Amino acid sequence: METIFVSKAEYVPSTITRDCRIFITQPIPDFKGSDYVEKSLEFYEKQASKIVDALQAHLPGGTLDAVLRELCKRKACLFRGPI
C-alpha cells in the first residue's frame, strides 16, 4: 500500500486540526439496471464530496489551492482556455 504524508493545517484558536487518513481501498460498485447512469453519478458525487470535505477540513489553504490548480492542469483538455 502506498503511503503519502503531507502537512495539516496549523492550529487556529478554538479549532484543533486533527490528523486525517483517506483510505482508497474499496472497489467501484457494479452499477446495473436501467438507472445505472444516475446511480454511478450519485456514487461519484458522494465520493468526491467526502474527499473534498476531508481535504478542506485538514489541509492548509495554500495546499488546498495548489491541489485545485494541479487537478485543473491535469484535466486541461476538458477546458477551452489556458489555465
Cβ atoms within 10 Å of 60's Cβ, excluding its own = 14
Which residue did the predictor score with more confidence, 1 or 76?
A: 1
- The string of pLDDT tens digits covering residues 34-61 is 999 999 999 999 999 999 999 999 999 9
Residue 61, C-alpha cell as written in the block: 489553504
Q: What is the mean pLDDT of residues 74-78?
A: 74
Distance in angstroms (rounded) separating the CA atoms of residues 8 and 20: 8
Beta-ladder partners of 12: 15
- Structural domains in the chain (count): 1
Range of the domain at 77: 1-83
Higher per-residue pLDDT: 8 or 79: 8
pTM here is 0.79
Query: Residue 18: helix, strand or coil by DSSP?
Result: coil
For residue 52, count other CB atoms closer than 10 A to its CB: 13
